[in-house]
Each structure stands twice: as C-alpha cells, then as structure tokens.
Amino acid sequence: MSEKKVSLLEGFKAFLMRGNVIDLAVAVVIGAAFTNIVNAVVKGIINPLVGAFGTQDLDNYSSCLQGPCTTDPKTGEMDGIEILWGSVLSATLSFLITAAVVYFLMVLPMAKYLARRAAMQAAKEGVRETIEVSELEVLKEIRDALVAQRTGGAPGPGAVDGPGGADGTAAGPREGR
C-alpha cells in the first residue's frame, strides 16, 4: 500500500517538475495581469472615443427584439426582449486589442529572433562544412604527397584508395618484408 502512495507522489512530483507546467503557470499569471491592462484601455480610451458618437459605456448599447423594452420601476423586470450588443462589441474589442498586443509585442519579435538565430546557425553549419571540406582536401593532398614520396613518382588519379600503393601492394614500412 505504501508503494502506491510513493508512486503517486513521485508521479505528481515529476508532473510538477516538467518545464511546461511552470511555463503554463507563468503564462496564466501574465495573461491575467495583461487582461486588466486591456480592460482599462477599453474602458479608459475606446469607450470614451465611442462615446463621442453616443453613450460612453458600450454596455449601454442595446436593441429591443420584441415589444417595448421598458423596465418596470417597481419590480425591475424588463418588458420585451433586449439584445445587449454593446457588451458583445466591448468584449470583441478587448479580444482584438489583446490579440494585437500579444502578436506585435510577443509573437512577431520572437519569430524574428528565432529566424535570425536559425540563419546564424545555418551560416555556422555552412562555415563548418566548408572547413571540413577544405580539411579533407588538405588531407588528401598530404596523402598523395606521401604516396608519391614512397613510390618515387606522382600517383595517378585514384591511385590510392586503400592501404596499399598504386600497384595494390602494401605500402610503408612493411615493404621490406
């Protein structure tokens, strides 16, 4: 029975220690704080701008779908069916502002940074590949020069493909045997 509790605790610990859980928690906290900023912008800037053409509060925009939309002062009940499209407009504006700020201040700069980093990495790979190719060419030239010294002449193309010399016999210190 204690094994089951230990494994549950170990599993929970492993879950908490994964990096994406921490990242998600930070994103939720930042998102909540950012929502307050966006709501303040909508209420403090957007609503007054819209108020220049009508009411200052978008929530006051509504239409009556059926019957006279009047409120009974005694009971507080609404006669008719009221559509509160101002609230929907306010929420839509808040969403669009949030999405624009997130895109232009977070997503776009990060994408540019990652593209620049990938380009730098590709350039490094290209340089490394060029260095490896040039090193390989130098090593081939050294090999050809050594073979030429041993055989007493210049080797032909493709003369040395393996450990032996141009005629297929072993080259190097073993020749005397």
Low-confidence ranges of the chain (pLDDT < 70): 1-6, 19, 55-56, 153-177
Entry pTM: 0.47
158: nearest Cα among 169, 172, 171, 168: 168
100: nearest Cα among 40, 149, 34, 157: 34
The pLDDT value recorded for residue 10 is: 85
The pLDDT value recorded for residue 93 is: 80
The tens digit of pLDDT for each residue in 101-122 reads: 778 887 898 889 999 999 888 8
- 58 burial (CB, 10 Å; 0-12 / 13-18 / 19+) is buried
The pLDDT value recorded for residue 115 is: 92
Alpha-carbon distance 146 to 116, whole Å? 45
147: nearest Cα among 129, 164, 123, 127: 164
The CB-side HSE value for 64 (13 A sphere, CA atoms) comes to 9
The pLDDT value recorded for residue 113 is: 92
